[in-house]
Every structure is written in C-alpha cells, then in structure tokens.
C-alpha cells in the first residue's frame, strides 16, 4: 500500500515536471522564433541521475562552447529568479 502511494506521488511529480518542461520549451522556442539555431537540455532524476541533449550544428555556438553557454545562461536565469523572490519577500 505504501509503495503504491509512493509510486503514485512520484508519477504525479514527474507528470508536473514534464508539463512545466514542455511549457518552458514552448516559450523558449517562441522567443527564439525562426532565429533558433541550437539548444541544450539537462534533466535529472530523483536519484540524481542526469541526462542531457544538445544540438550545436548551426549558428555560432559549437560543441565545445555548449557547457559554458548553458551554465552562463542558467546562472543568469537563476539569479533573476532569486532576485525576484527576494524582492517579493521584502514587499510582503
């Protein structure tokens, strides 16, 4: 019974993460429009296993730059989110 409940909760979390991933990807694709030239994606499991995919065949970013580019972009994204969160907390 507990195992079934835990499995159901894992599935619900994974389904929610997938929905958010697809929503985020659609937004990024819309923002890039016809200028889209590549992508980098990293996912991880509850156990910390990581999976990644990227395409750097077009545009100025080549394979060797993808890790740095993705890391820099995520650092900026997270910094904005943290800053917004802090502002919201100060305004409460």
- What length does the chain have? 92
Q: Which band of pLDDT confidence, cut at 50, 70 and 90, is reported for residue 81?
A: confident
Q: Which long-range contacts (CB under 8 A, 24 or more apart) does 36-43 make?
A: 37/61, 38/66, 40/66, 40/69, 40/70, 42/70
Q: Where are the alpha helices (DSSP H) in the chain?
A: 2-32, 66-91
The domain tally of the chain equals 1
pLDDT digits (tens, 9 = 90+) for 37-49: 999 999 999 999 9
Residue 10's alpha-carbon distances to 20, 22, 42, 66, in angstroms, are 15, 18, 19, 31
Question: Which domain, by its residues, includes 56?
Answer: 2-91
């Amino acid at each position: 019974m507990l195992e079934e409940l835990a499995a159901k909760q894992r599935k619900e979390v994974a389904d929610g993460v997938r929905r958010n991933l697809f929503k985020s990807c659609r937004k990024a694709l819309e923002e890039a429009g016809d200028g889209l030239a590549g992508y980098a994606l990293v996912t991880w499991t509850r156990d910390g296993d990581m999976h990644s995919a990227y395409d750097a065949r077009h545009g100025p970013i080549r394979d060797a730059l993808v890790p740095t580019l993705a890391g820099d972009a995520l650092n900026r994204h997270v910094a904005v989110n943290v800053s917004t969160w802090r502002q919201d907390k100060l305004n409460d």
